[in-house]
Amino acid sequence: MSDIGLKITNNSKHIAQPQTFESTKTPKEKAKLAKAAQDFESMLTSMMLKSMNQTTGGMFGEGSFGGDYFDTIFETKIASFISEKKSLGLADMIYKKVIGEDLDMNKIKQEMQSENTKSIKIEASKAIKNEAINDSVSISPSKGSVDRLSKFDDIITKASESYNIDKNLIRSVILTESAANPKALSKANAKGLMQLIDSTASDMNVKNVWNPEDNIFGGSKYLSKMLEKYDGDIEKSLAAYNAGPGNVEKYDGVPPFEETKNYINRVKGYMKYWENEL
């Protein structure tokens, strides 16, 4: 295969309008793009060196023993060194064009470390959550409430899939909140299957709080936000659903309210019941 001759009069011309793509902008994606941009710069630099060496007979002179082999090694090493030292700045230009940020490998490494730490915390929270549910005592709901709840099973399934929440958690909250009565109304003016107050229903864009589907989707959406807020900690999320996130923040965890503690235990007890039923 013959060597490729490369003539460059304007270094920026070849990447003035690079093809962009929709980046997730996660630290992992940023690291991949940075590596690809640096590899591209290194490859282009190597081609430039090869093109220049063709006019001089190579770094070791024409006819030297093993000159072609060593030329290739030196060209690659020098190209990598130039790329790492950002002498041309092509990798930076590509990265900024796509991501919209300056290429900073130290920053990317810190972001990846932070993301990994967060993932570990979330997994730990999930483990604690599962342990808490497994340690709870099963509570059997009345036959009437189970029969009523079964009428909304399709809606619950859709809400579970839409907001990535365990179907049994939605079921258990509904049983605890209203015993699956779509017309339930509390003294605090909480309404429907998942006992939504007017402000929460409005925030979750619930059009008709008395409509079972609207109510279940609104309650599930709010519950999913609490689970996200507290990194999957089911007890804190349920406490926020029952007593409000303000009280969870105030007491740095489940507030010392008997009503809230009983509420959490009841939901967990129903979840244990549904797990045993499967």
Question: Which residues are tagged catalytic?
Answer: 177
Q: CA-CA distance, 189 to 233, in Å (whole number)?
A: 27
Give me Rg for the CA atoms of the chain.
30
Q: Among candidates 13, 33, 11, 28, which has minimal Cα distance to 100? A: 33
**Within 10 Å of residue 248's Cβ, how many Cβ atoms?**
25
Bridge partners, 113 (sequence order)? none
CB atoms within 10 A of CB 57: 13
Which pairs with CB-CB distance under 8 Å and at least 24 residues apart come from 119-128?
121/231, 122/231, 122/232, 125/230, 125/231, 125/232, 125/233, 126/232, 128/233
Quickly count: other Cβ atoms within 10 Å of residue 190's Cβ.
18
DSSP 25-42: --HHHHHHHHHHHHHHHH
Tell me, what amino acid is at 1? M
- Give the single-character DSSP code of 231: T
Kindly state the tokens that stand for 224.
């999913």
